Structure 1
Amino acid sequence: MSLDIGLSQKLGLEENSIEGKDGITEEMLCRKMNMVNSIDTEEENDEEDDEKIELGPQCTLKAQLEKDKDDESLRKWKEQLLGTVDIESIGETVDPEVKVLSFAIKSPGRTDMILPIPNEGKPKGVWFSLKEGSRYSLKFTFEVRNNIVSGLRYSNTVWKTGIKVDNTKEMLGTFSPQVEPYTHEMGEEITPSGFFARGSYVARTKFVDDDGKCYLEINYAFDIRKDWQPI
């Protein structure tokens, strides 16, 4: 969720038309959320198509272990990837299941801000607020079930007043199913500061694998303010 990209040059004086003393109104927020659903959709789809990797047909974990079982190096690699997974308890499911359990925003000297994940993928109102010029990092936990998920990646696109101001992508990796959830923390970022940086934003976050399967998509709004909101 990197935003340190020279917002004042991108936004010009449009900030005066949307930022009030207490941020955006509910009506403005609704218009912005509708707008983000149509902005750059074709461009974003083209980017995802270019990145999609053809991996061939999926097979169950048991079938994967049977493949090349006489190849010592491949067998050891598969055992290392799977770790202590109980193959017998997984069954014959082909498709992996990835569930994002929680989001948290970490900032030095502050209690982690835990963000509830809505079932419908669209948090109501402003999902969270950040202080301008503050250091922060995003941490999330997720679980993997049934099968190996290959090339899981995170992407986050941010708009302000209809202008795309950030497009972050990060490869998380390949994960085997396990009982305990995985945890991933993004690198530390600094929120932009100044008059043009403050105000409301809309964003779209996705978790997608190498097959192009999307496990979570969240469309939301957030604010950058002069100070942190009380916890």
Structure 2
Amino acid sequence: MSAVMGALSGSKDIPLDHPNMEKEKEEEKKEKREEEDGENDEDDEDEMVVLGPQVPLKEQLEKDKDDESLRRWKEQLLGSVDVTSVGETSEPEVKITSLTIITPDRPDMVIPVPFVPNSKGYAFTLKDGSRYRLKFTFNVSNNIVSGLRYTNTVWKTGVKVENTKVMLGTFSPQQEPYTYELEEETTPSGLFARGSYSAKTKFVDDDGKCYLDISYCFEIRKDWPT
């Protein structure tokens, strides 16, 4: 009897795995694996997000045009879009038509783009130490152009003397041309500032599409040309 009791008392430290307990453990492991697989699938879906193709603006405007609430929402989002300037393609078109040099007490100097150099090879001439502003005129058609940027790099005798970058903004298509005026600047002055300069001007949007890439030369002189 004591031997039996001893055997029973000694058996309390031995784990007893009931068949039902084993089954529950297996089910828990299976559920855990399924949860982990589900999380991995969600991660894969997040990583494999593919943006749809860009839709022409005209198609966007025509879609759901009978829905008043959607029409108002599109007007708020897109602003005043001239439908006659909207094309069938999804790519925006930007055409820089002219550069205007505005200086105090002088008539505006309007230079068509692309520049046509004079007999000396210069697109224009500036007076040293003079204040001036640049104004660009351009047209936008087909679609909205996002993040239009202006960059201008200037060299003198092979040395870079200026590198300007300006974010012009986002513009919707319209028949009337846009104008953008830069901040006032002053040309360098003095004997060593005069002479020939070379420059490169570019207009690029957020997608990296270049609408103008032009190289030209200009001159800084002691006096304005007559």
Q: TM-score range by the shorter chain?
A: 0.5 to 0.7
**What does residue 82 of structure 1 align with?**
79
Unaligned stretches of 5+ residues in structure 2: 1-50
Question: Higher helix proportion, which one?
Answer: 2
8 Å Cα contact 1:129/1:225 also seen in 2: yes
Unaligned stretches of 5+ residues in structure 1: 1-54
What SS class does the counterpart of residue 79 from structure 1 fall into? helix
Structure scoring higher RCO (CA < 8 A, sep ≥ 6) equals 1
* Number of corresponding residues: 171
Structure 2 residue identity aligned to 1:209? D
Q: CA RMSD in A?
A: 2.7
CA distance in 2, matches of 1:198, 1:158: 14
Q: For each residue in 1:86-119, what CA deviation from the matched residue of structure 2 results, as whole angstroms up to 9, or x when unmatched? A: 27x634211111111111100000001111223x
Identity of aligned residues (%): 64
2:152 pairs with 1:156: yes
CA distance in 2, matches of 1:129, 1:98: 27
Match of 2:191 among 187, 192, 195: 195
What SS class does the counterpart of residue 173 from structure 1 fall into? strand
CA distance in 1, matches of 2:143, 2:204: 15
Normalised by the size of structure 1, how large is the TM-score?
0.66
8 Å Cα contact 1:122/1:219 also seen in 2: no
Q: For each residue in 1:185-227, what CA deviation from the matched residue of structure 2 results, as whole angstroms up to 9, or x when unmatched? A: 1100011101111111000001111111111111000111101
Q: For each residue in 1:15-69, what CA deviation from the matched residue of structure 2 results, as whole angstroms up to 9, or x when unmatched? A: xxxxxxxxxxxxxxxxxxxxxxxxxxxxxxxxxxxxxxxx9843211444559xx
2:100 pairs with 1:98: no
Normalised by the size of structure 2, how large is the TM-score?
0.68
CA distance in 1, matches of 2:184, 2:145: 26
Structure 1 residue identity aligned to 2:131? R
What SS class does the counterpart of residue 76 from structure 2 fall into? helix
The 5-angstrom pairing of residues 106-125 of structure 1 reads: 106-118=102-114, 123=117, 125=121
What SS class does the counterpart of residue 126 from structure 1 fall into? coil
CA distance in 2, matches of 1:130, 1:165: 16
Structure 2 residue identity aligned to 1:93? T
8 Å Cα contact 1:144/1:177 also seen in 2: yes
CA distance in 2, matches of 1:143, 1:151: 15
What SS class does the counterpart of residue 158 from structure 1 fall into? strand
